Chain A
Amino acid sequence: MKALTIFEKGRPGRHTTYIAPRDIPEGLLEQLPNTSCREKPPAFPEVTEGEVVRHYTNLARKNWGVDVGFYPLGSCTMKYNPRLSEQIAGWPEFSAAHPLRPARAAQGWLRVMYETERMLSHLCGMARFTLQPAAGAQGELCGMLMIRRYHAERGDTRNTVIVPDSAHGTNPATAALAGFKVITCPSGANGLVDIKALGKMVNDQTAGIMLTNPNTLGLFERDIQEICRIIHAAGGLAYYDGANFNALVGRFRPGDMGFDVVHLNLHKTFATPHGGGGPGAGPVGVVAELEPYLPVPLVKETAEGFVLEEDRPHSIGRLNAFAGNALIILRAYVYLRLLGADGLREVSGAAVLAANYLKQRLMGTYEASHQGRCMHEFVLSAIRQKAFDIRALDIAKRLIDYNFHPPTMYFPLTVPEALMIEPTETEDLETLDAFADALIAIAKEAETDPELLHGAPHNTSVGRLDEVEAGRKLNLRWK
């Protein structure tokens, strides 16, 4: 049966009243000039509350989530989201607070933000954090604009940023948005930044480098101090993309690696829900030298309590209308306080252990991008299976039949037929084993029954959808 959109449901005139209409004085609406009035009303659905609830409950059932099952999407840290955070985020003392309240009426909120900022600064070895960026990519923009401002205030017009070939797509996109020319730095055969090549790349135009550590191959950049030294010696700054911070949290700090700017994804390491693609939060930390450039507003402690500080003359400005995704920050605060520093240390330990165990179990069957230990994630390549005309895509889709969400596919770009697996620390051993068993069984099926894989998934509401045709015959709204 075709799944109807909400627009195809209901009948004209169906309606639920949520607010009893109050009397509108006669003639009042007529005071509005005609040219200010809308002519064509929007065609929203006309449905009852019951129909709406049924419609969106059925849509939710067509979605996979961490609550539904294993979700080993590499670089996304799909860990369990504690429910206390949800309960607190629903308290009206937090959720109904206007962002421009007088500071006196928001001391609870400002204290949560202040303490979160301090905790993140300690965990990263940074002087200060801004909580304003709404997502990782906006955090990156914030960081790169600060780096730009830092150079500009020194009368320096450096305009290139170095990004490794294994980096997340947001890194080069952000560097470009901040006005930099992107130079791609090749990885060596060991999957790490080639520091000899890097040494030759830097010059008086180098504004900085953007790095993820561990990198997207799940490997720790062990020359990180040397990398930062090379960049600093050339006059540039080092930016840490914190998408993979779950591997190190509570144990090691980007500040000790030599980074000057750090963003974190609260929806990854700090367990806030991913929401189907956001909202997240991408706080950014800086070393003391860059503190003047942080965006406004910042929470400041004064003798009269906490206030939002707006007047910061060297600031890069404002990134969003208000102080950030506060309800996401509150959830992360709850997580930080529940776990404490020791709990976070256990998180990174368990995340790295789970990834190594899974890698160990799968290395005999699949080619790993790199031998040896990994951090919190690892990348397999389906090149052995290519002999049977099986691609990473087929393996990923077949995993759905085994009741698992597939790993990240075809990323990083440096590995052919890549499957990037991040189990996280909150998956139990039974699940890790069942997932490994499934991937091993699929590798056998690839040899004996490749058509089974080509046709996968077999039990979802739709099969593989033709994306090429969808891009050609665009249907982007119901009409």
Chain B
Amino acid sequence: MNFLPHTKEDIAHMLGELDLPDIDRLFDEVRAALPQGEMPTLAGASEFELRHHLWDMARLNGRPDQTPCFRGAGAYEHYIPAAVPQLISQSGFFTSYTPYQAELSQGTLQAMYEFQTMVCELMGMEVANASMYDGASALAEAALMALRITHKPRLLVAETLHPHWLQVLQTYTANVQPEIVLLPATDGVIRTETLAGLLNDQTAAVVMQNPNCFGLLEPIREIGGKLESHPALYIVCAYPTALGLLTSPGEAKADIAVGEGQPLGIPLSFGGPYLGLFATKLEHLRQMPGRIAGVAYDKQGRQGYVMTLQAREQHIRRERATSNICSNQALCALAATVYLSLIGPAGFKSIAEQNFAIAHRLAERLTSLPGCSLAFKQPFFNEFVLNLPVGADEIERELWDDGIISGLPLGRWWPERKNQMLFCATELITGPSVNRLIAAMEEALG
């Protein structure tokens, strides 16, 4: 299959207008300039054949409805109302591109404006952009922005930040080479006293994540209080679902708030596409990366939307742009906008409460197993670290033999934590799947 509409006659007509005998002649100049490389010999397939092949591939991943997943660690499975994928799959949204022609893109532009509003509400911040690639790269851009604003060389980063996010931050800042100082944790969280000891006039920003990489609640409000009178910027990474219950970055006096927007109506998708959330204070607007939609009027006074403040962006400013980002995650931002409209403020709060309750119930059940206990005493949201009497890798293996995806073995990230597992329970975890998990754990722990 190749989706080409040109008949032999059409091709002959076009070639005739060009006075050429065949299509290959259009490439004469290229052929003359290059050696002929070896081309792959992959054969094409019909839709029917290929779908059969893909069934085989899909089966290798297992049926998700039969494989309960107790894993979070930066990607969270939440309920997605049926209307979300339906609405975002409409041709007008899904087969359009960046809204360069505002008159033909009012749908995308208004949705961007609504998305920005929702991110501001979610985060408790003043302005937001129209999306970044994912939470981790949004944090990296936030750090670059803080370095630009403050002209200071040091980043104080909670060591309880998701380790992949820290790696992305390091990759993105490789050329600026800020001094990245890790704030050590005490009993799984950062203490304000620890921060006070490391904060100095060389600090560009302090980076906190809440809940942190162990699922624990950080004192983001107390730290915000400490930083209020300090020139360093305060960057808070938030988990959007948790914000139905937990202090918003704005309430914690954050200067920049970022987050992974995937939990807002976007499927796990083996890691992407996800959605970077990015919000800040009005005073930093012009240093913000990414696209921004704003209200505009036509000559007749009709209200519409345009991409605004484009002088920050690469297509205008080139090497002096605030970021190189061009295509972002527009359709994922639309999914989040639709999701938040559907669940509304009441649903948003209720989902957060249920996550909290279900995870706490799970923790209770798991800690009643022999040799299992919570690794930390701190309050948590919907994720917690469980100490196991045996290696976590072994438990992971045995549970998958029963078709269960266990919590994440933490030895993967920290060798000294090889007997620990990070468990997550969202509103999708049902009583029967918890019973299955407990039965399988009992057997695995023998």
Complex: A406 Cα to B62 Cα, angstroms: 45
Query: When chains A and B are docked, how far (Å) is the Cα of A230 from the Cα of B45?
Result: 42
Q: Are B63 and A92 in contact (CB under 8 A)?
A: yes
B182 part of interface (Cβ distance < 8 Å): no
- Is A347 a contact of B4 with CB atoms below 8 Å? yes
A63-86 near B? 1/0 per residue, CB < 8 Å = 111111001010010111110101
What residues of chain B lie closer than 8 Å to A3, measured between beta carbons?
106, 110, 303-304
A-chain residues with CB within 8 Å of residue B47 when the two chains form the complex: 84, 338
- B-contact 0/1 string along A451-479, CB 8 Å cutoff: 00000010011111111011100111111
- Tell whether A28 is near chain B: CB-to-CB under 8 Å: yes
Q: Are B308 and A341 in contact (CB under 8 A)?
A: no
Minimum C-beta distance from A223 to chain B (A): 7
A426 to nearest B CB, angstroms?
5
Contacts A5-B110, A107-B61, A322-B272; is A137 near B338 (CB within 8 Å)? no
Interface string of B148-186 (1 = CB under 8 A from A): 000000000000001011011011101110000000000
When chains A and B are docked, how far (Å) is the Cα of A94 from the Cα of B270? 7
With A462-B304, A470-B306 as contacts: A92 and B174 at CB distance below 8 Å:
no
Q: B5 near A138 (CB under 8 angstroms)?
A: no
Does A135 lie within 8 Å of B87, measured CB to CB? no
Is the interface on chain A under 10, 10 to 19, 20 to 34, or 35 or more residues?
Answer: 35 or more
In the assembled complex, which residues on chain B have CB atoms less than 8 Å from the CB atom of A22? 354, 357-358
Known: A42-B348, A84-B47. A109 touches B35 (CB 8 A): no
Q: Is the CB of A276 within 8 A of B98?
A: yes
B372 at the interface (CB under 8 A from A): no
Asked if A93 contacts B101 (CB within 8 A), the reply is no
What is the CB-to-nearest-CB distance from A333 to chain B, in angstroms, rounded to a whole number? 9
Does B273 have its Cβ within 8 Å of any Cβ on chain A? yes
Query: Which of A21, A35, A52, A148 has a CB less than 8 Å from the CB of B350?
Result: A21
A43 contacts which of B345, B354, B360 (Cβ < 8 Å)?
A: B345
CA distance in complex: A275, B308 (Å)? 20
A340 at the interface (CB under 8 A from B): yes
Among residues of A, the one whose C-beta sits closest to the C-beta of B96 is A65
Q: Is the CB of A406 within 8 A of B101?
A: yes
Q: List chain A residues, Cβ under 8 A from B230.
A: none
Docked pose: A271 CA to B1 CA in angstroms:
13
Q: How far is the CB of A19 from chain B (nearest CB, A)?
A: 5
Residue from B11, B107, B323 in contact with A173 in the complex, judged by beta carbons closer than 8 Å: B323
Contacts of B270 in A (CB 8 A): 94, 97-99, 101, 106, 109, 322-323, 326-327
Interface window among B200-208, B293-301, B438-446: B293-301
Asked if A2 contacts B303 (CB within 8 A), the reply is yes
Instruction: Name the residue of chain B whose CB is nearest to the CB of A464.
Output: B298
- Please tell me if the beta carbons of B304 and A326 are within 8 angstroms of each other in the complex: no
Residues of B within 8 A of A429 (CB): 5-6, 10, 13-14
Of A53-61, A193-201, A231-239, A283-291, the one with at least 4 CB within 8 A of chain B? A53-61
Minimal Cβ-Cβ distance residue in B for A149: B174
- Answer whether residue A325 sits at the interface, using C-beta atoms and an 8 A cutoff: yes
Does A252 lie at the interface of the complex (its beta carbon under 8 Å from any beta carbon of B)? yes
Which residues of chain A are near B100, meaning CB under 8 Å? 73, 408-409
In the complex, chain A residues whose CB is within 8 Å of the CB of B356:
24, 28-29, 32
The chain B residue with its CB closest to the CB of A336 is B42
Question: C-beta contact mask, A26-64 vs B, less than 8 Å → 1, else 0?
Answer: 001101110111111111111101001101111111111
A465/B171 contact (C-beta < 8 A), A256-B37, A471-B309 known: no
Cβ contacts under 8 Å, B83 to chain A = 49, 52-53
- Taking a contact as CB atoms under 8 Å apart, the answer to whether B87 and A353 are in contact is no
**A175-B175 Cα distance, complex, nearest whole Å:** 11
- B397 CB to closest chain A CB, in angstroms? 7
- Are B325 and A172 in contact, with the CB atoms below 8 A? no
Contacts A63-B108, A338-B45, A373-B26; A96 near B2 (Cβ below 8 A): no
Find chain B residues with CB under 8 A from A229 CB: none
**Assuming the A-B contacts A15-B347, A461-B106, are A95 and B269 also in contact, with contact meaning beta carbons closer than 8 angstroms in the complex?**
yes
Cα–Cα, bound, A93→B107 (Å): 31
Contact A476/B127 with A16-B347, A36-B246, A97-B268 known, Cβ cut-off 8 Å: yes
A323 near B271 with CB under 8 A, answer yes
Given A3-B106, A18-B347, A24-B353: A66 in contact with B95 (beta carbons within 8 A):
yes
Provide the residues of chain A in CB contact with B379, threshold 8 Å: 31-33, 36
Evaluate contact between B2 and A62: CB separation under 8 angstroms.
no
Q: Which residues of A lie under 8 Å from residue B323 when comparing CB positions?
A: 173, 177
- Complex interface bits, A307-341 against B, C-beta within 8 A gives 1, otherwise 0: 00000000011111111111110000010111111
> Which residues of chain A come closer than 8 Å to B338, judged between CB atoms?
52, 56
**Which of B37, B44, B291, B294 contacts A470 (CB under 8 A)?**
B294
CB-CB < 8 A to A256: which residues of B?
Answer: 34-37
CB pair B26 A353 closer than 8 Å: yes
User: CA separation between A30 and B308, bound complex, in Å?
Assistant: 44
Q: Taking the complex as formed, is A391 at the interface, i.e. its CB lies under 8 A from any CB of chain B? A: no
Cβ contacts under 8 Å, A67 to chain B: 91-92, 94-95
Closest to B240 in A: A42
- Answer yes or no: B21 CB below 8 A from chain A CBs: no
Q: CB of A102 within 8 A of chain B?
A: yes
- Provide a sorted-by-A list of 26 A–B residue pairs whose CB atoms are within 8 angstroms: A5-B114, A6-B337, A29-B357, A44-B118, A49-B81, A53-B87, A62-B110, A63-B105, A64-B92, A65-B95, A96-B267, A100-B73, A101-B405, A177-B324, A224-B33, A276-B98, A277-B330, A318-B171, A320-B133, A320-B136, A322-B74, A322-B272, A338-B44, A405-B104, A462-B304, A464-B103
Q: Would you list the 3 A-B pairs with minimal beta carbon distance, nearest first?
A: A179-B175, A322-B271, A340-B44
Q: A42-B121, A60-B90 are in contact. List 7 more A-B contacts (CB 8 A).
A: A15-B347, A97-B270, A105-B405, A134-B137, A248-B30, A278-B332, A320-B274
